[in-house]
Amino acid sequence: MVRGWGGWLTILGMTVAGCLFCGIVAGEIPGDVVHRSERVVAVRDINPQAKTHVLVIPTVHYEDALELATSDPAVLAEVIEVGAAVARAAGIFESGYRLVFNTGPDAGRTVFHAHLHVLGGEQLGLFGRVS
């Protein structure tokens, strides 16, 4: 499943080469998985920024949303569909939710395996410039 080198990871005090989300997809790194199919895995974010905060991750390693879109648009569509299904399962489909792809340092990107954030379950703040 690992298509590219994903950088360095520190796990239990050891620094290893690899990709955190490839590790979660492979079941080698623990994750609170809420959805799993051949092409998409969804896990609860370890540091939630809203009552509901789930990450929808393609099982194949793509660097970012653009690479996912250009390489496999059907998987991008499935990622968005799973995001909506996660919102429905969490009971926030009607109250509203936010789908976010972060890209690059100004967006605070930390994991370089494409993933969609699903946020909701409470009134979300405005997004954009810091204060």
Window of 67-75, 80-88, 109-117, 122-130 that interacts with ligand AMP by CB under 6 A? 109-117
H helix or E strand, kind and range, residue 40: strand 40-44
The C-alpha angle 30, 16, 113, rounded to 5 degrees, equals: 60
Distance of CA 44 to CAs 7, 50, 91, Å? 22, 11, 15
Among 10, 15, 110, 123, binds ligand AMP (CB under 6 A): 110
22 part of the interface to Zn ion, by CB under 5 A: yes
For residue 45, the tally of other CB atoms under 10 A from its CB is 17
Cα 63 vs. chain centroid, distance in angstroms? 12
115 catalytic? Reply is: yes
6 part of the interface to Zn ion, by CB under 5 A: yes
125 part of the interface to ligand AMP, by CB under 6 A: no
115 part of the interface to Zn ion, by CB under 5 A: no
Among Zn ion, ligand AMP, none, residue 110 binds (CB under 5-8 Å by kind): ligand AMP
- Residue of closest CB approach to Zn ion: 19
